[in-house]
C-alpha cells in the first residue's frame, strides 16, 4: 500500500474514525513503515501540545448576562407571529396582554407590571445595602436568594461602590417605570433591565423568602390600579435613593466617585456633574457611566450619549450592560421630544397636558414636565380632585428630579396635608415628603412627618411598613435614638413586608453594636 | 452556585426534546440547553478567533439566535450541530472582518494548562523547573502562531475534532462540506502545526 494513501488516514486512525478493516490495514502498514510511524508520532505530538490549551470555564456573569438578554425575547409573540419581534438588545415590544408562559412569575415579570418588579428590586437593593452597611457578612438567607445574586450581577462584583451603582440604577428604573406605565406604552423601559435580572431568578430552585415576597409584592401590585402601582414604584425608588445616599456617605471619605454621588443624591446636580467629569477625564469608567446617567437626568442627551459611549467602550460587562440600557433610553427620549413638541403647542385640556407631561418625563425634560403637570392640574375641573392631586404629586416628583428637593418636598407636603387627597396618595406624598426631608438633612422635620403618618391608616400594609421603615431609619441614622428605632423597625417586621422587614431586622441588628 | 431549576427538571432529556418543550413555551428548557452548551460554544469561538472577550459576546449572540430561531429547528437534525453552525457562522463573519483589520490571536495565559507538558507525572510537580516554564511559554507562543497561520476552515475543523470531539460527519455539517474533506483538513492542519512548532524549536 502506498504511504501517501496511508498517511491521509493516519489522523482518522487516531480519531477512531476508520472501519475495522481499514484500521487493521493501517496497523499492519505501521508495523513495517517507519516513515508513517514518524508522521503518526508528529500527529500525536501536536495533539499533546494542543491539549495544553485548557479553554476557559464559563463564569457566572456570562449566563446572567445571557439570561438578561433572553428575558427580553418574547416567546409567545414569536410563536404566533402576531407581534413584531424586535432584535434590539434591550428593546423588544411585548404584546399588550402578557404572553403566556409556564410559570406565573416569569409571565408576570416579562409581561407587565414592571413597577412592582422595580419596587422588588429596590427592596433587594435595600436589603443588600443594609447587610453590607452593617459591616456584617451577608446573612445566609440573603446571600443565597437569587434576587441578591441578581443584584450582584446588576451591580458588579459586590463591593459597596458597585452596589451603590446598582442602587442608583434601580432608582433610575423606578422613575422610568412611571412614565412607561402611565403612557401605556408598549416600549420597554429601562426597568426591564432590572426585571430581567429578576427573571433570571426564576431559574433558581432556591424558592426562599425573597422570592415568595417578591411574588407577594407582585401580586399586590397586580391588584392595584395603575396609579397605585406607580406610587409604589416611585416610593421605593425614592427610598433607594435615600439609602444609597447613606451608603455613599459611609464611603465618601475613601472613594471620590462615592463622594461625587453624594452631591447628586442631595440634588446638587451641577456639582456632581463637575466631579464625575473630572474623574471620567482621569479614565474612571464608572464615573463615565455616572456622568452619562446624570447628563440624561439633566436632559442633556448629547452629553449623555458621549459619556455612555466612552463608558461602554472601556467598561466591563456590567458597565456595558448599563450603558447600553441607557442608550436605549436616549433614543426613546429623542423620539419623545419630537413627539411632544406639536402636542405642547396645541394642548388645552387637562388630559392633553397630562399626556404632554408624561412624554416630557420620557424625554428627560423634568423641568418642563413639572410645569405641564401643574398645567394639567389647572385645566382640570373642580370635581376632579383625585386627578388634580395625582398630577400635583407627579409635578412635585419632577421637581425633585431636577434637583429642587425642597420645592419637591413642599409640593408633597401640600398633597399630604390636603384632606381632599385620596387616602393612599396622601400617604404616599407623606412618605415622599419624609424621604425628601431626610435627603436634605432635615431629620427632625422628617421624623415629625413619619410620626403623623404612622398614626393614620394607609389602607395598604406595604405603605405602612414603608412609613415605619423610614421613621426607624431616620431615628437610627439621623437622631441616633436606638430605642425609638428599634420600636419602629420592629413594627416593620411585624407587618411582615418581605425584604423590607428583613432589611429592618438587619438595621436593628446593626444598631445593637 | 445554586442548582437551577432548568437543570433539575430536564437533565435526563435529549437536546432535541428540550427544543420541542421550549417551542411549546417553556423557557426553562432553553435554560438547560444554555447550560449544556455555553462552555463548548464559548471555547469553540475562543479557539477559532484567539480572542476570549469577543468569544463571549459571539457566544451570547449564538444563543440569542438559537432562541429566536428555535421554531425553525428541524428535529431530524442534532441540536448540537445546529447550534455549532450558528456559532460557526458568527465566527466566520468575525474572521472575515478581521482579515481587513487584523487582530492578534491570543491564548490567554490563564487558559494555558501545563497538562502533559511540564507536569512530572511521577511527582506531580508543576513548573518548578525554570527551563520548563520557559519552554512552556514558548510552546504557547508557537501554538498561537501556528493556529493563527492555519486557514479558517482548517483551524475550525481541527478545533471541532480535537477539542469538541465531534465526528467528521458532524463537523462536515457544521462547516458545510463533506466528511472526507474534514478528514483531510484536520490532517493537514496538524501537519502544518507540527512544521511551525519544529521551526520554532519546540517540537
The shortest CB-CB distance from A53 to any of B3, B5, B111 is to B111
- Residue B194 to residue A46, Cβ atoms within 8 A: yes
- Count CB atoms within 10 A of the CB of residue A479: 14
Please report the sign of the dihedral spanned by the C-alpha atoms of residue A373, residue A378, residue A380, residue A383: positive
On whether any CB of chain B is under 8 Å from the CB of A30, the answer is no
Joined grid coordinates for residue A85 = 419581534
Domain boundaries, chain B: 1-106, 129-203
In this complex, is the C-beta atom of A15 within 8 Å of any C-beta atom belonging to chain B? Answer: yes
Please name which of A225, A236, A173, A262 lies closest in space to residue A431, comparing C-alpha atoms: A236
Checking if the pLDDT of B4 tops 80, the result is no
* Number of Cβ pairs < 8 A linking chain A and chain B: 160
Q: What is the structure's pLDDT at A42?
A: 93
A62/B56 Cβ within 8 A: yes
Residues of chain A numbered 49-68 and touching chain B (CB < 8 Å): 49-58, 60, 62-63, 65-67
The model's confidence at residue B134, banded by pLDDT at 50, 70 and 90, is low
C-alpha cell of residue B97: 472582518
- Can you tell me the distance from the alpha carbon of B79 to that of B82, in angstroms, rounded to the nearest whole number? 5
Residue A334: CB atoms within 10 A of its CB come to 15
Q: Which of A46, A78, A202 minimises the CB distance to B193? A: A46
Residues of A in contact with B108 (CB under 8 A): 56
Ordered by where they begin, the domains of chain A are 3-50 (no CATH), 61-254 (no CATH), 255-341 (1.25.40.10), 342-511 (1.25.40.10)
Q: For the purposes of burial, counting CB atoms within 10 Å of the CB of B76, is it exposed (0-12), middle (13-18) or buried (19 or more)?
A: exposed
Cβ neighbours of A203 in B, within 8 Å: 4-6, 28, 31
Say whether B183 and A17 touch across the interface (CB within 8 A). Answer: yes
Compute the CA torsion angle A266, A269, A273, A279 (nearest 10 deg): 0
Measured in degrees and rounded to the nearest 5, phi and psi for residue B119 equal -95, 130
CA trace torsion A470, A476, A479, A481 (10° rounding): 120
Query: For residue B162, what is the nearest residue in chain A, using CA coordinates?
Result: A47
Mutate to test the interface with B, among A14, A45, A46, A312 (most CBs of B within 10 A): A46
CA end-to-end span of chain B: 41
A445-460 in b/e form (b: 16+ CB < 10 A) is bbbebbeebbeeebeb
Contact: B43, A9; criterion CB under 8 Å:
no
Which H or E run includes A124? helix A114-133
Q: What is the pLDDT of residues B60-114, one digit of tens each?
A: 989 989 998 888 888 777 899 999 999 999 999 999 988 887 788 999 888 886 5
Q: Which residues of B touch A54 (CB under 8 A)?
A: 111-113, 115
Q: Confidence class of residue B39 from pLDDT cuts 50, 70 and 90?
A: very high
**Domain B129-203, CATH 1.10.3720.10 — does that match?**
no
Q: Closest to B117 (Cβ–Cβ): which among A10, A52, A73? A: A52
Compute how many other C-beta atoms are within 10 angstroms of the C-beta atom of residue B74. 8
B46: chain A residues, CB-CB within 8 Å: 55-56
For A420-453, what is each residue's pLDDT tens digit? 888 877 888 888 888 888 877 888 899 999 999 9
pLDDT tens digits for range B139-170: 888 999 999 999 999 999 999 999 999 999 99
Nearest chain A residue to B167 by CA: give it: A17
Q: With a cut of 50, which residues of chain A have pLDDT below it?
A: 76-248, 251, 497-499, 513
Contact yes or no for B2 and A206 at CB 8 A: yes
Q: Quick one: cell of B157? A: 475543523
A43 against B26, higher pLDDT:
A43
- Rounded to whole angstroms, the Cα distance separating B10 from A440 reads 53
Residues contacting residue B195 through CB under 8 Å, at least 6 positions apart: none
Compute the nearest-CA separation of B106 from chain A (Å). 11
Our CA-based measurement puts residue A8 at a distance from the nearest CA of chain B, in whole angstroms, of 7
DSSP H stretches of helix in A350-481:
350-362, 366-379, 385-401, 405-417, 423-439, 443-455, 461-473
Residue A18 in contact with partner chain B when CB distance is under 8 A: no
Domains B1-106 and B129-203 agree in fold: no
C-alpha cell at A204: 433558581
Compute the distance between CA of residue B186 and CA of residue B176 in angstroms, rounded to an integer: 15
pLDDT in tens, A408-423: 899 999 988 888 888 8
For residue A53, report the phi and psi dihedrals to the nearest 5 degrees: -90, 100
Question: Which residues lie closer than 8 Å to A59 by C-beta, 6 or more apart?
Answer: none
pLDDT in tens, A218-256: 333 333 334 334 334 433 443 344 334 444 455 455 677
**From the CA of B43, how many Å to the nearest CA of chain A?**
6
| DSSP one-letter string for chain B | -PPBHHHHHHTTS-HHHHHHHHHTT-HHHHHHHHHHHHHHHHHHHHHHHT-HHHHHHHHHHHHHHHHHHGGG--TTS-HHHHHHHHHHHHHHHHHHHHHHS-------GGGB--TTTTB-TTT--BS-SHHHHHHHHHHHHHHHHHHHHS-HHHHHHHHHHHTT---HHHHHHHHTS-HHHHHHHHHHHHHHHHHHHHHTT--
C-alpha–C-alpha distance, residues A414 and A426, integer Å: 9
CB A167 within 8 A of CB A129: yes
Torsion B41-B46-B52-B58 (CA) sign:
negative
Residue A322's pLDDT is 64
> For chain A, how are helix, strand and coil distributed in percent, rounded to 5?
75, 0, 25
CA distance A276 to A433: 28
Q: Which residue has the cell 464559548?
A: B42
User: Ramachandran region of residue A498, left (φ > 0), alpha (ψ -120 to 50) or beta?
Assistant: left
Q: What is the ipTM of this complex?
A: 0.90
* Strand (E) or helix (H) holding A477: none
Mean pLDDT of chain A: 66
What's the CATH code, domain B1-106?
1.10.1740.10
The owner of cell 441578581 is: A150
Distance to chain B for A224, nearest Cα, Å? 28
Chain A residue whose CA is closest to B48: A55
Residue showing cell 407587618: A495
- What pLDDT is stored for residue A325 in this prediction? 65
Q: Which three cell numbers stand for residue A78?
A: 414569536
The burial of A324, by beta-carbon neighbours within 10 Å (0-12 exposed, 13-18 middle, 19 or more buried), is given as middle
Question: How many Å lie between the alpha carbon of A408 and the closest alpha carbon of chain B?
Answer: 43
Whether A398 contacts A366, CB under 8 Å: yes
Amino acid at each position: 500500500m502506498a504511504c501517501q494513501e496511508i498517511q491521509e488516514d493516519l489522523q482518522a486512525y487516531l480519531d477512531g474514525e476508520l472501519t475495522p478493516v481499514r484500521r487493521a490495514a493501517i496497523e499492519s502498514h505501521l508495523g513495517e513503515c517507519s516513515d508513517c510511524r514518524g508522521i503518526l508520532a508528529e500527529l500525536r505530538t501536536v495533539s499533546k501540545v494542543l491539549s495544553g490549551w485548557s479553554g476557559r470555564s464559563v463564569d457566572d456573569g456570562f449566563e446572567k448576562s445571557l439570561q438578561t438578554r433572553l428575558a427580553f425575547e418574547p416567546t409567545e409573540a414569536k410563536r404566533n407571529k402576531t407581534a413584531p419581534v424586535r432584535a434590539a438588545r434591550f428593546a423588544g415590544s411585548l404584546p399588550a396582554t402578557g404572553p403566556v408562559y409556564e410559570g406565573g412569575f416569569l409571565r408576570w415579570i416579562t409581561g407587565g407590571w414592571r413597577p412592582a418588579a422595580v419596587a422588588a428590586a429596590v427592596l433587594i437593593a435595600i436589603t443588600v445595602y443594609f447587610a453590607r452597611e452593617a459591616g456584617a457578612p451577608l446573612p445566609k438567607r440573603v446571600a443565597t436568594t437569587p434576587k441578591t445574586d441578581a443584584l450582584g450581577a446588576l451591580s458588579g462584583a459586590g463591593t459597596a461602590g458597585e452596589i451603590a451603582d446598582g442602587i442608583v440604577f434601580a432608582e433610575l428604573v423606578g422613575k422610568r417605570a412611571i412614565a412607561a406605565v402611565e403612557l401605556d406604552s408598549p416600549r420597554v423601559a429601562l426597568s426591564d433591565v432590572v426585571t430581567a435580572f429578576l427573571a433570571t431568578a426564576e431559574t433558581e430552585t432556591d424558592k426562599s423568602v425573597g422570592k415568595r415576597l417578591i411574588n407577594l409584592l407582585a401580586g399586590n401590585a397586580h391588584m392595584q390600579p395603575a396609579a397605585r402601582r406607580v406610587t409604589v414604584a416611585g416610593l421605593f425608588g425614592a427610598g433607594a435613593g435615600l439609602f444609597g445616599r447613606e451608603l455613599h456617605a459611609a464611603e465618601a471619605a475613601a472613594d471620590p466617585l462615592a463622594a461625587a454621588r453624594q452631591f447628586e443624591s442631595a440634588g446638587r446636580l451641577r456639582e456632581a456633574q463637575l466631579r464625575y467629569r473630572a474623574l471620567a477625564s482621569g479614565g474612571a469608567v464608572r464615573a463615565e457611566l455616572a456622568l452619562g446617567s446624570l447628563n440624561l437626568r439633566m436632559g442633556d442627551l448629547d452629553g449623555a450619549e458621549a459619556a455612555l459611549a466612552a463608558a461602554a467602550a472601556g467598561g466591563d460587562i456590567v458597565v456595558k450592560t448599563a450603558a447600553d440600557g441607557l442608550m436605549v433610553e436616549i433614543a426613546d427620549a429623542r423620539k419623545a421630544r419630537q413627539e411632544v413638541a406639536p402636542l405642547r403647542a396645541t394642548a388645552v385640556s387637562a388630559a392633553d397636558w397630562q399626556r404632554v407631561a408624561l412624554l416630557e418625563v420620557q424625554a428627560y425634560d423634568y423641568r418642563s414636565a413639572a410645569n405641564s403637570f401643574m398645567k394639567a392640574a389647572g385645566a382640570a375641573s373642580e370635581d376632579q380632585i383625585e386627578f388634580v392631586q395625582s398630577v400635583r404629586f407627579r409635578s412635585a416628583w419632577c421637581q425633585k428630579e431636577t434637583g429642587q428637593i425642597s420645592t419637591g418636598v413642599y409640593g408633597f407636603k401640600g398633597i399630604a396635608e390636603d384632606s381632599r387627597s385620596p387616602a393612599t396618595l396622601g400617604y404616599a406624598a407623606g412618605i415622599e415628603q419624609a424621604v425628601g426631608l431626610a435627603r436634605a438633612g432635615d431629620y427632625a422635620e422628617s421624623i415629625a412627618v413619619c410620626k403623623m403618618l404612622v398614626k393614620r391608616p394607609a389602607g395598604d400594609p406595604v405603605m405602612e411598613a414603608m412609613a415605619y421603615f423610614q421613621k426607624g431609619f431616620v431615628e437610627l441614622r439621623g437622631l441616633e435614638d436606638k430605642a425609638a428605632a428599634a420600636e419602629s423597625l420592629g413594627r416593620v417586621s411585624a407587618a411582615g413586608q418581605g425584604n423590607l422587614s428583613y432589611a429592618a431586622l438587619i438595621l436593628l441588628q446593626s444598631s445593637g453594636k | 452556585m445554586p442548582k437551577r431549576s432548568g437543570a433539575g427538571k430536564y437533565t435526563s432529556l435529549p437536546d432535541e426534546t428540550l427544543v420541542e418543550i421550549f417551542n411549546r413555551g417553556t423557557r426553562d428548557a432553553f435554560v438547560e440547553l444554555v447550560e449544556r452548551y455555553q462552555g463548548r460554544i464559548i471555547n469553540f469561538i475562543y479557539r477559532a478567533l484567539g480572542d476570549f472577550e469577543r468569544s463571549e459576546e459571539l457566544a451570547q449572540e449564538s444563543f440569542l439566535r438559537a432562541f429566536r430561531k428555535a421554531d425553525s429547528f428541524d428535529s431530524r437534525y442534532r441540536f448540537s450541530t445546529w447550534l455549532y453552525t450558528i456559532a460557526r457562522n458568527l465566527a466566520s463573519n468575525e474572521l472575515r472582518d478581521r482579515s481587513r483589520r487584523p487582530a492578534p490571536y491570543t491564548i490567554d495565559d490563564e487558559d494555558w494548562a501545563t497538562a502533559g507538558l511540564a507536569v512530572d507525572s511521577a511527582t506531580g510537580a508543576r513548573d518548578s523547573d525554570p527551563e520548563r516554564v520557559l519552554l512552556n511559554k514558548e510552546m504557547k507562543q508557537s501554538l498561537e502562531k501556528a493556529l493563527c497561520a492555519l486557514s479558517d476552515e482548517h483551524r475550525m475543523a481541527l478545533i471541532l475534532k480535537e477539542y469538541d470531539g465531534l465526528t467528521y460527519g458532524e463537523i462536515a455539517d457544521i462547516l458545510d462540506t463533506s466528511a472526507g474533506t474534514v478528514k483531510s483538513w484536520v490532517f493537514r492542519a496538524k501537519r502544518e502545526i507540527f512544521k511551525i512548532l519544529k521551526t520554532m524549536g519546540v517540537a
